[in-house]
Amino acid sequence: MKNRHRPGTTRVPYSINGITHMVEVEAPKMPRDLDHTIRNIVTAVCALMLAAAVVWSTVKIGGLLDRRAPEWAAYTAAGVFDIAWIICMALEWDARHDPKRARRPMIAGWVFLALAMAAIITDGHLSDDLAVGIISAAASAVVKGVWWMVLTQHATPLDPLTQQWYDAERARMQAQRGLADVETELLRTQHKIAMTRAAYGLPAAGQQRPVPQLAPVPAAHEAQHDAAPGAELIPTGHTVPPPPAAPPAAAHSAAPAAAVEDPVQLSRIIDAELVGATSKAEMVRRVRHVAPDWNSTQIADALTRRGVQITAGYVRSVDGRPKPKRPVVERPEPRLIEQPPLADPEPGTGGYA
């Protein structure tokens, strides 16, 4: 059998002879708060009074302005008078725990109310019914006074020490809100710049600085002489000095040649430099050679756009490693060349035959 939960009850465990079942008991009810109820009733009645006063004030001021303006414009402008001091009351409510902040909207509200009352009295005077104008203006003053007492009732006064603590907390909150606004604006601006650069096919910001241009890589066979040096006679008993070892071909050019102003050309140089790289560390070193002024994040972004998943931390670790040593080129051992004995020079020749 399915148990149904009745409103106003709660289910609790109940045991007899060690057997426990869930039973329903009356849920505790909140005690009636008469003060809270009265405040709600007063607030609702004041809202009705405010609506009636706004309608009546708008009709009277609209009738005054209707003499010199179209009807729709006259009544629209008439509503501005009451809306102004109502907004001031709302601001005063928001600052009810801070008397310094609440003072300015409170004074402005009374000033705007005085202007509205003056307009209503003027309408009564021009209509040859000054008494109706004065009574109509008093209706707005009564509503404003009632609302002022309601706001005073809800505003809880604080002692000086608590007021200082409240002001400090509010200042801290406002500072955090201001920082959030600045950071949001910064992120929005950075996103706009990134989208603009992407639309024009440019790299991300911070990667357009001039970088050295690589010199053409000489081939290994071009570094050697095309022809052997001329033969030289070596006296008997002397050793032939070992031939100079050819320098190994560099993986990439040793020094930059010129600065590259065009980011597109720089990207092409990086692509050409990465050809033949066999490891991520080698790729990082080659990009570092092309762009020595780049930071770790820029190098990681450049390789990531080319399909190599590398982080800035990995780039920093590679920058801290010692460069791999070049292989030692073994030089050939000296060897002796057996030369046949030289013939004696013939008389009168002055040299070898």
**247 occurs within a structural domain:** no
Q: How far apart, in Å, are the Cα atoms of 40 and each of 33, 77, 93? A: 11, 32, 15
Boundary (domain end) residue, out of 198, 222, 251: 198
Contact present, 296 and 320 (Cβ < 8 Å): no
Q: In terms of domains, do 131 and 180 share one? A: no
**341 occurs within a structural domain:** no
**212 occurs within a structural domain:** no
**266 occurs within a structural domain:** no
Q: In terms of domains, do 73 and 51 share one? A: yes
pLDDT of residue 275: 81
Profile the chain (353 residues) by mean pLDDT over runs of 10 residues.
Answer: 62 89 85 85 92 92 89 91 93 88 92 93 89 91 92 83 89 90 92 86 64 51 46 50 48 47 77 82 85 84 85 84 59 63 58 49
pLDDT of residue 202: 79
Secondary structure (3-state) at 298: helix
pLDDT of residue 139: 92
Give the predicted TM-score (pTM) of the model.
0.46
Q: In terms of domains, do 92 and 179 share one? A: no
pLDDT of residue 213: 55
Helix (H) or strand (E) holding 12: strand 9-16
Boundary (domain end) residue, out of 102, 122, 154: 154
pLDDT of residue 254: 44
Q: In terms of domains, do 103 and 184 share one? A: no
Q: In terms of domains, do 141 and 182 share one? A: no
Number of domains in the chain: 3
Q: In terms of domains, do 96 and 186 share one? A: no
Distance between CA atoms of residues 218 and 224, nearest Å: 11
Q: In terms of domains, do 131 and 167 share one? A: no
Q: In terms of domains, do 288 and 194 share one? A: no
The CB-side HSE value for 9 (13 A sphere, CA atoms) comes to 11
Range of the domain at 109: 34-154
- For 130, phi and psi rounded to 5 degrees? -65, -35
**350 occurs within a structural domain:** no
Q: In terms of domains, do 46 and 100 share one? A: yes
**94 occurs within a structural domain:** yes
Q: In terms of domains, do 102 and 174 share one? A: no
**125 occurs within a structural domain:** yes
pLDDT of residue 342: 59
Q: In terms of domains, do 145 and 54 share one? A: yes
Contact present, 137 and 144 (Cβ < 8 Å): no
- For 15, phi and psi rounded to 5 degrees? -120, 140
Here the tokens at position 256 are: 């930059």
Sign of CA dihedral 70, 73, 76, 82: negative
Distance between CA atoms of residues 8 and 323, nearest Å: 78
Q: In terms of domains, do 148 and 182 share one? A: no
**8 occurs within a structural domain:** no
Here the tokens at position 6 are: 């009745």
Sequence-separated (6 or more) residues with CB below 8 Å from residue 221: none
